[in-house]
Amino acid sequence: MKMNLDYLLDSVWEHLALLRVYTKKRGEKPDFEGGLILRQGATVEHVCHVIHRTIAQAFKYALVW
């Protein structure tokens, strides 16, 4: 039964084109407890708006991997 629920959850995420993004501070390990849920194709600017609506104005750069 659990396998069917896992498949359903994966299918929903794929159908809705969602992905989970983790942030981290430089020199620290990422926090995999939380994360931001975004649509595929989201930009760094979108991530800034999810965190706080005014952060994009002061944002300089991001390291993405």
Amino acid in the structure at residue 2: K
pTM of the full predicted structure? 0.68
Domain ranges of the chain: 2-58
Residue bearing the bigger pLDDT, 3 or 43: 43
- Listed in sequence order, the residues at least 6 apart from 64 whose beta carbon sits closer than 8 Å to its beta carbon are 44
Task: Write the pLDDT tens digit of every residue in 16-36.
Answer: 999 988 888 888 888 888 888
| For range 29-46, the mean pLDDT | 88
Superfamily per CATH, domain 2-58: Beta-grasp domain (3.10.20.30)
